Amino acid sequence: MEADDGENSRKVVALIEKAVDSTRPEVDPRVLKSIKYIVRNSDSELRIATRTLLSLMKRDHSQVRFLSMLIIDELFMRSKLFRTLIVENLDQLLSFSVGFKRNLPLPAPTAVASVLRSKAIEFLEKWNASFGIHYRKLRLGYEYLKNTLHYQFPNLRENAARAQQERRERELKTKEILMKKFENLTENINAIKEEIQSAVDEIAECLDIIRNKDDSMPIAPIDDEDFEEFRNSELREIRLDSLKEGERVQENSDNEIIFDALRELYKVLVTKHLAAVQEYLSVLTRVEVVNTRSRDSMLRQFIDIKNNIQSVKKRCEESGCSLRRTTSPEEDVIWEEGDLESFKKASDSKSGQDEVHASASNAHESRNEAPESSGQTSKENDKRYQADISSESDPLRNKLLAEAPLMNWGSFLDSWGSSQDILANQRGFDLDNHWGRVDLDAVIPAERIAELNVQATFYSEEPGEVQPCRAPLRNGQLCQRKDLRVCPFHGHIMPRDDDGNPIKQSSSDEELNLSVGGDLAEQLATQAVKNVRERDEKDAKQREIDRRAMKRAKLAKVREHNETVLKDAALASTSRSLYVGEETEASTQTKLSTRNKKESLATMLKRKETAKDRLSRKLLNARQRMQV
Partner 1 sequence: MWKEISERECGKIRNSLFTHRIKTTRISSLNISNHKDIISPHRGSINSLQVDLTEGRYLLSGASDASVAVYDVQRATDHEGGGVIEKHRSILVIDKQHEHGHKYAISSAIWYPVDTGLFITGSYDHYINVWDANTSQVVVNFKMPGKVYRTAMSSLATSHMLIAAGTEDVQVRLCDISSGAFAHTLSGHRDGVMSLEWSSSNEWVLFTGGCDGAIRFWDIRRAGCFKVLNQSHTQFGRRPQLVHSNTEKASTSKSSTAGQSSSGKGRIAQRKNVNGNSIKPSTTGKTSSQTKGSKQRLHPGMLSVQDRATAHYGIVTGLKATEDGMYLLSAGSDSRLRLWDVESGCNTLVNFEATRLQTTKPLQLAVSQDSDLVFVPCMSSLKAFDLWSGKSLFDFRAHYENVNCCWYNAQDQELYTGANDRQILVWSPPKYTSNEVDEMRKEQASGCDQDNWSD
Q: What residues line the site for partner 1 (CB under 8 A)?
A: 33, 36-37, 40, 77-81, 83, 91, 130-131, 133-137, 140-141, 143-144, 148
Q: Which long-range contacts (CB under 8 A, 24 or more apart) does 265-272 make?
A: 265/199, 265/202, 265/203, 265/206, 266/203, 266/313, 266/316, 266/321, 268/199, 269/199, 269/200, 269/203, 269/309, 269/312, 269/313, 269/316, 270/313, 270/359, 271/359
Indicate the residue among 136 and 175 with the shorter CB distance to partner 1: 136
- Closest approach of partner 1 to the CB of residue 469, in Å: 43
Q: Show the 3-state SS of 55-120.
A: HHHCCCCHHHHHHHHHHHHHHHCCCHHHHHHHHHCHHHHHHHHCCCCCCCCCCCCHHHHHHHHHHH
For residue 216, the cross-strand partners are none
Q: What is the number of other CB atoms lying within 10 angstroms of the CB of residue 515?
A: 15
* Type of residue found at 590: T
- Our CB check for partner 1 shows the closer of 82 and 266 to be 82
Nearer to partner 1, 145 or 358 (CB): 145
Specify the residue, 77 or 281, whose C-beta has the smaller distance to partner 1.
Answer: 77
Shortest distance in whole angstroms from residue 576 CB to partner 1: 18
Return the number of the residue (27 or 287) whose C-beta is nearest partner 1: 27
b or e along 478-493 (b: 16 or more beta carbons within 10 Å of the residue's beta carbon)?
ebeeebeeebebbeeb
CB 312 within 8 A of CB 214: no
What's the min distance (Å) between Cβ of 579 and partner 1? 16
Smallest distance from the beta carbon of 575 to partner 1, in angstroms? 13
CA angle 32, 13, 65 (to 5 degrees): 65
Q: Crossing angle, helix 62-76 and helix 2-20, to 10 degrees?
A: 130
Whose CA is closest to 582, among 171, 13, 30, 120? 30
Tell me the C-alpha distance between 328 and 374, whole Å.
11
Q: Which is nearer to partner 1, 129 or 258 (CB)?
A: 129
Smallest gap from residue 126 Cβ to partner 1 (A): 14
Partners of 444 in the β-ladder? 422
Selection from 177, 69, 173 nearest residue 126 by Cα: 69
| Residues 37 and 1 sit within 8 Å (Cβ to Cβ) | no
User: Shortest gap between Cβ of 462 and partner 1 (angstroms)?
Assistant: 58
Backbone CA torsion sign across 406, 411, 414, 420: negative
In the complex, least distance from residue 582 CB atom to partner 1, rounded to whole angstroms:
15
Rounded to a whole number of angstroms, the minimum distance from the CB of residue 12 to partner 1 is 16
Residue 422 forms beta bridges with which residues? Answer: 444
Nearest approach, Cβ of 505 to partner 1 (angstroms)?
Answer: 51
Burial of 162 (0-12, 13-18, 19+ CB in 10 A): exposed
CB of 586 to partner 1, least distance (A): 20
The nearer residue to partner 1, 139 or 367, going by C-beta atoms, is 139
Name the minimum Å distance from CB 5 to partner 1: 20
Decide: residue 579, CB within 10 A, 0-12 exposed, 13-18 middle, 19+ buried: buried
Q: Which is nearer to partner 1, 127 or 182 (CB)?
A: 127
Burial label, 292 (beta-carbon count in 10 A; 0-12, 13-18, 19+) = exposed
Q: d(Cα 420, Cα 298) in Å, to the nearest integer?
A: 74
Q: Which CB atom, from 141 or from 581, has the smaller least distance to partner 1?
A: 141
Q: How would you classify the pairing of strands 486-487 and 491-492?
A: antiparallel
What SS3 state is found at 309? helix
* Cβ nearer to partner 1, comparing 137 with 157: 137
Measured from the CB of residue 567, what is the shortest distance to partner 1 in angstroms? 16
Q: DSSP assignment, residue 518?
A: S
List the beta strands (DSSP E) in 321-382.
none
Q: State which residue, 10 or 80, has the beta carbon closest to partner 1.
A: 80
The distance of closest approach from Cβ of residue 134 to partner 1 in the complex, given in angstroms and rounded to an integer, is: 4
Question: What's the Cα-to-Cα distance from 371 to each of 126, 341, 574, rounded to whole Å?
Answer: 69, 17, 85
Nearer to partner 1, 40 or 538 (CB): 40
